[in-house]
Amino acid sequence: MLIAADTAEMLLEAARAARESAYAPYSCFRVGAALLFKGGEVVAGCNVENSSYGLSVCAERSAMAAAVSRGLIFPEAVAVAGKRGVPCPPCGACRQFLSEFNADMYVVMEDKCGFVCRTLSELLPMRFDLISDNGNKR
């Protein structure tokens, strides 16, 4: 099942709106992300940089942290908006972070012709997790 075009566009618009709030004084690379949950609830976030670069927070993790604080832990999709018209896939750390909550969620990215959509598991085919084959925590 693919995400419906109107849903993808709505989610991208929420990510674009979140991008406007990004705090990126060092890289000037503003990113917004929007997560979609069952029932249509959308939670957005933006990147927040810090002069100590390792303390910076990506938009996808910002959005997911906000969602968890609201009791939402199983996103169906995420849209990521960086530079207009250019796909902005989640970085490796964000792919791993998001996979904790739903490794098969859809990832929507804008491009010059509209949008592209992949599953998170396509973008991160061999994710790390602490669940063994029999479902027991190690």
Strand partners, 111: 114
Compute CA distances 27 → 48, 80, 89, whole Å.
Answer: 11, 17, 17
Instruction: Using alpha carbons, select from 56, 34, 30 the residue that is nearest to residue 45.
Output: 34
Tokens 């972070």 correspond to 97
The amino acid occupying position 49 is E
60 is catalytic: yes
Angle, alpha carbons 46-82-128 (nearest 5°): 70
Decide: 45 and 70 in contact? Cβ < 8 Å: no
CA distance 55 to 63: 16
Of 20, 41, 49, 60, catalytic: 60
Task: Provide the annotated active-site residues.
Answer: 60
